[in-house]
Every structure is written in structure tokens, then in C-alpha cells.
């Protein structure tokens, strides 16, 4: 393993391509006498002429020292390995809310070089690393990273890239190669199998032979992974911009069912869920055109048919439709928890589902409340998607979209006036069943 120091400019990258907040963090670290490099996806994607999702920074300063530099704008997080989040509040001039640019938080993650020393008592019964707060040198850190192309250290101030494992060669060959002995590296952390699949699909790279060969052997280890880690991996796949292809690859790879229960239920079976396939397609399209996507919309849409099936079963029970929907949402809570969806996320998804009812049953009284709901956008996306599948009244769907798109107050009022017409012509007339009056009440009435 020889350290190579290469000119960034010769490799076709420069600090002009780096996010200003990331530059700010690196400058401050270096001014205090510490290292500050971009590593991982940030450097890799720049070198592949792709726009990095984020810029992860690495330093020789401990988390506590980093915290001292960035003070109140930073927090130390993580248990398995402590890292620091530096938070920037930025104005987004392309998103205007109430005539003002929206305030958005941008987080830059800073980690400290990892050490090669792993205590035996930090490993669990399967040989997996559990506690990992030993700090090391840049060289150690490089050896601890997963793939050679993810172990490239870019200093955007000196404009150099440091390469210990021939990552640049592999990038040129468009190859994903594990650092070290694949057998050992997969036992240490089987999630690297999923990372190899995701990165190869997302970046259009091949997986080098021995890195690929051992994937098959060690995939059963993935069933022991903690559900929150698998949930994170599931989100990374959904947000990769190539989710359809990634899931197809996972299907071909024949992972144990328990690894991605939601994918298994929706896509890996003989009869995939058509609405969910469309969600993947739409999300990929948006990400490839650099449009924002919402995790809550994606999850709520993927689980919609489960909730809707429970809802349809509950409807004849005599409860009000709104109550039946609430009950259906409640019934699916356990499943959501099993696949790692947090209580907060499920509560946001609940809002998206409940708004479906409001879209389908609008009343003049509730329109404003519906429009002002913080989950309105995500819910409307799901409602539109259901319209594509003929699940909702298309006239009413058109009405909602016109109402949202209209910027003219007069036109809005006319649309609201029209609601009765649209709604009544589209809604199947309900014949209200007369409730039988219980015997004792009839007697009361007679008295
Ligand atoms: P993405 O574009 O999806 O963010 P990434 O490679 O940056 O891809 P991250 O999860 O952000 O993925 O990880 C940042 C870096 O941390 C990786 O590039 C790699 O160097 C290292 N890393 C992440 N996960 C592992 C792992 N399981 N084992 C070893 N190194 C890892
Ligand atoms: Mg990253």
C-alpha cells in the first residue's frame, strides 16, 4: 500500500465544484491546524463528473475538538462511532414561502480518522464491530473504508487527492473493489454487500470478481442486522435515483426475505404492487432531474395499498368511513414498526393518508384547513397517483389540482363556488340507511 498524492486539477476537479459550507468547514479546520478532507461519496462522485449527494468531511481532530471549533452550530452524535454535525441555516431563493426565501438547514458531517485497532470485546458474536471510538491516522482510516473508490481524500485548498488503495485506477476502470480481504470485510459488516449493489447500479460500475464472489456466501448474515440500519439502507436505495434498477438487482440477487421486508412484499413477489412500482419510477425521474423528493410521500405511497386494503375490509362494519380509515392506519402500525419506520414518520404518513379522505370528501368548511395542512403537497402527489390508477374521481381530482395551481383569487372563488357542481355530479349518490330505532327509544318517543 503506497500513498499517492495526486493533483486534483490533473484529475479534472477543483474547489469550484465543492459546496461553500463544506469549504467553510475545511478552511476552519485547517486554520486551527487540523486536517480537513472530503472523503467518500463527495470525492468519488466529483471524480466521476456526477453531482455529489453530500460532502462528508474527515479530520484528525477528535469530535470534542471539532465541537470546540464550531461551538453552538455543532452537535456530537452517534454511539457506535461519534461524529459531529455542523449545521448551517441557509436561505433558499428558489423556494419562496410567504414572499420570503425559505430557510433551510444544511448539515455537514465531520468524522475523525478511524483506527485499525479494534478491541475483541467490541465485536459481537458474528464478528461484527459494535463499539468503535478509537481514532487513528489517515492511513488507518483509508484501510477501514469499504471500497477503494470511497477511500480518496480530497483537500480542496491544496487541490490534492490522496489515494492509498489505487482508488483512482479503479475509478478509471469503473470498478468497485473492497479494500482488504473480502471474506473478512463482509463478516465485519455485511451491509457492505448492499452498498456494493447500490453503488454499482447508481454509478454504473462493475463489481470486481472477488468482491462479487463472496457476496453470495455472506448474504445470510444480513438477517442479523438491526432493523434501524436496514431501514436506513432501504431509504438509501429508495433515494438513490436508481431505485427501480436497484430493486431489480436485489430481486436477481435473491436476498433472504427478512432483509427488506417491504421490498419483498411489494416488489419481489410474483405480483408486484403497480402503484408502488410507479412511485419508484416517479422518484427516480425527480431525482435524476434534481427535483426534491419527500421520504414521507414515498413511504406513505408504498404502504398505501396495505392501509387501503384494511380500510376496504373495515368499511362494511358500519363505522364512519373516517373512523374506518383511522382504524386501518392503526392496524398497520405494527408492520411499519417492524420495518423500522419511526413513530414520528408514521404520524406524518398518517396525515398523508387522512388527507386522502378530505380530498375525496371535500366540504366548503374544510377546504382551507386541507390546503393549509403541512402534508398537503405529499398527499396531493399520492392522490394524483391514485387518480392515474383510476382509484379516485377524476373530475374531483382535476378540481383540486386547478384549485392549487390557480394564482388568481377571483378564479379560486369561482372554483370553490363550483365545488358543489363538480362534487355532486361526480359523487355516487349515497342512500343513507335509516338506522333502526332501538325498542326503548321508540317507547321514549311515544311517551
Ligand atoms: P452516497 O453517495 O450514497 O452518500 P457514500 O459512499 O458517500 O455514498 P455514505 O454512507 O455517505 O456513502 O458513507 C460515506 C463513506 O463512509 C463511504 O464512502 C465509505 O468511505 C465510508 N463507509 C460508509 N459505510 C461503510 C461501511 N459499511 N464500511 C466501511 N466504510 C464505510
Ligand atoms: Mg455520502
Residues 265-305 pLDDT 10s:
999 888 999 999 999 999 999 999 988 899 999 999 999 99
Which pLDDT value is given to residue 191?
Answer: 97
Mutate which of 182, 195, 198 to test ligand 1's pocket (most atoms within 8 Å of Cβ)?
195
Asked if 176 and 205 touch (Cβ cutoff 8 Å), the reply is yes
Whether 132 is in the pocket of ligand 1, judged by its Cβ within 6 Å, is no
Question: Residue 443: pLDDT above 60?
Answer: no
CA of 198, nearest ligand number: 1
How far does the centroid of ligand 1 lie from the alpha carbon of residue 186, in Å?
14
How far is it, in rounded angstroms, from Cα 267 to Cα 270? 8
Pairing state between β 56-59 and 100-112: parallel
- Using CA atoms, how far residue 197 sits from 201, 212, 240, in Å, is 6, 9, 11
pLDDT of 41 over the 70 cut: yes
Rounded distance from Cα 109 to ligand 2 centre (Å): 9
**Residue 447 — very low, low, confident or very high, per pLDDT cuts 50/70/90?**
very low
Identify whether the C-beta of residue 147 lies closer than 8 Å to the C-beta of residue 196: yes
Q: Give residue 122's pLDDT band: very low, low, confident or very high (50, 70, 90).
A: low
Q: Do the Cβ atoms of 430 and 421 come closer than 8 Å? A: no
Cβ atoms of 34 and 47 closer than 8 Å: no
Per-residue pLDDT band for 427 (boundaries 50, 70, 90) equals low
- Categorize the per-residue pLDDT at 54 as very low, low, confident or very high, splitting at 50, 70 and 90: very high
**Angstrom distance (rounded) from CA 248 to CA 233:** 16
> Could you read off the pLDDT of 20-36 as tens digits, one per residue?
999 999 999 999 999 99
Give mean pLDDT, residues 387-407.
Answer: 94
Residue minimizing CA distance to atom 11 of ligand 1: 41
Average pLDDT over residues 188-203: 97
Single out the residue of 296, 293, 298, 383 nearest to residue 347, CA to CA: 296
Please write the tens of the pLDDT for every residue from 146-161.
Answer: 999 999 999 999 999 9
Taken in order of first residue, the domains within the chain and their CATH numbers are 1-173 (3.30.460.10), 175-281 (1.10.3090.10), 295-426 (1.10.3090.10)
Block residue for cell numbers 349518490: 429
What mean pLDDT is predicted for residues 152-175? 98
Pick the closest to residue 58 from 72, 32, 40, 71 (CA basis): 40
For residue 436, is pLDDT > 70? no
Q: Mean pLDDT throughout 69-93?
A: 91
Which of the pair, 119 or 444, is modelled with greater confidence?
Answer: 119
pLDDT tens figures, 229-272: 999 999 999 999 999 999 999 999 999 989 999 999 999 888 99
Q: What is the pLDDT of residue 119?
A: 60
Is the beta carbon of 146 within 6 A of some atom in ligand 1? Answer: yes
Nearest protein Cα to ligand 1, atom 12:
41
Q: Ligand 1, residues 129, 147, 150, 243: which to mutate, most atoms within 8 A of Cβ? A: 150
The grid coordinates listed for 74 are: 455543532
CA distance linking residue 315 with residue 307, whole number of Å: 12
191 lines ligand 1 (CB under 6 A): yes
The answer to whether residues 348 and 375 touch, using CB atoms and an 8 Å cutoff, is: yes
Measured between alpha carbons, how far is residue 149 from residues 22, 161, 357, 444 in Å?
20, 12, 48, 82
Ligand 1 within 6 A of CB of 56: yes
pLDDT over threshold 90, residue 133:
no
pLDDT given for residue 441 in this prediction? 43
User: Of the ligands numbered here, which is closest to the C-alpha atom of 237?
Assistant: 1
Indicate if ligand 1 lies below 6 Å from the C-beta of 41.
yes
Q: What is the pTM of this model?
A: 0.89
The response to whether residue 241 sits with its C-beta less than 6 Å from ligand 1 reads no
Q: Is 192 in the pocket of ligand 1 (CB under 6 A)?
A: yes
Q: Is the CB of 258 under 6 A from ligand 1?
A: no
> Is residue 239 a contact partner of residue 233, using CB atoms and an 8 Å limit?
no
Kindly indicate the confidence band of residue 392, based on its pLDDT and cuts at 50, 70 and 90: very high
The ligand minimizing its distance to the Cα of 52 is 1
Amino acid at each position: 500500500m503506497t500513498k499517492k498524492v495526486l493533483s486534483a486539477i490533473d484529475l479534472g476537479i477543483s474547489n469550484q465544484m465543492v459546496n461553500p459550507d463544506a469549504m467553510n468547514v475545511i478552511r476552519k479546520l485547517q486554520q486551527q491546524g487540523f486536517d480537513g478532507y472530503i472523503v467518500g461519496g463527495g470525492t468519488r462522485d466529483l471524480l466521476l463528473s456526477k453531482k455529489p449527494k453530500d460532502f462528508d468531511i474527515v479530520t484528525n481532530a477528535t469530535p470534542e475538538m471539532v465541537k470546540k471549533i464550531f461551538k453552538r452550530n455543532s452537535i456530537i452524535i452517534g454511539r457506535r462511532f461519534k461524529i459531529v454535525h455542523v449545521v448551517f441555516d441557509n436561505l433558499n431563493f428558489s423556494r419562496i414561502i410567504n414572499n420570503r426565501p425559505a430557510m433551510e438547514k444544511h448539515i455537514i458531517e465531520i468524522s475523525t480518522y478511524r483506527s485499525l485497532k479494534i478491541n475483541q470485546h467490541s465485536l459481537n458474536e458474528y464478528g461484527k464491530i459494535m463499539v468503535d471510538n478509537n481514532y487513528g491516522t489517515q492511513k488507518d482510516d483509508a484501510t477501514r473504508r469499504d471500497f477503494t473508490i470511497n477511500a480518496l481524500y480530497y483537500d480542496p485548498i491544496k487541490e490534492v487527492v490522496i489515494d492509498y488503495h489505487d482508488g483512482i485506477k479503479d475509478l478509471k476502470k469503473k470498478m468497485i473493489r473492497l479494500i482488504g480481504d473480502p471474506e473478512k470485510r463482509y463478516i465485519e459488516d455485511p451491509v457492505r454487500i448492499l452498498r456494493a449493489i447500490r453503488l454499482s447500479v447508481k454509478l454504473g460500475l462493475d463489481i470486481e470478481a472477488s468482491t462479487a464472489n463472496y457476496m453470495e456466501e455472506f448474504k445470510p448474515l444480513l438477517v442479523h442486522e438491526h432493523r434501524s440500519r436496514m431501514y436506513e439502507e432501504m431509504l438509501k436505495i429508495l433515494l438513490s435515483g436508481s431505485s427501480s434498477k436497484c430493486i431489480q438487482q436485489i430481486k436477481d440477487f435473491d436476498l433472504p426475505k427478512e432483509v427488506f421486508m417491504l421490498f419483498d412484499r411489494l416488489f419481489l413477489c410474483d405480483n408486484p404492487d403497480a402503484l408502488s412500482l410507479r412511485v419508484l419510477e416517479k422518484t427516480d425521474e425527480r431525482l435524476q432531474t434534481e427535483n426534491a423528493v419527500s421520504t414521507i410521500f414515498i413511504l406513505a405511497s408504498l404502504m398505501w395499498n396495505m392501509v387501503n386494503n384494511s380500510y376496504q375490509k373495515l368499511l362494511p362494519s358500519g363505522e364512519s368511513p373516517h373512523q374506518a380509515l383511522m382504524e386501518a392506519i392503526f392496524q398497520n402500525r405494527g408492520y411499519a414498526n417492524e420495518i423500522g419506520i419511526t413513530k414520528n414518520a408514521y404520524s406524518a404518513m398518517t396525515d398523508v393518508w387522512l388527507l386522502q379522505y378530505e380530498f375525496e370528501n371535500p366540504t366548503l368548511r374544510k377546504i382551507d384547513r386541507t390546503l393549509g395542512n403541512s402534508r398537503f403537497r405529499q398527499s396531493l402527489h399520492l392522490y394524483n397517483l391514485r387518480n392515474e390508477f383510476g382509484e379516485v374521481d377524476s373530475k374531483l381530482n382535476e378540481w383540486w389540482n386547478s384549485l392549487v395551481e390557480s394564482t388568481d383569487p377571483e378564479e379560486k372563488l369561482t372554483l370553490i363556488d363550483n365545488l358543489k357542481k363538480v362534487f355532486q355530479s361526480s359523487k355516487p349518490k349515497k342512500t343513507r340507511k335509516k338506522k333502526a330505532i332501538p325498542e326503548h327509544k321508540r317507547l321514549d318517543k311515544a311517551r
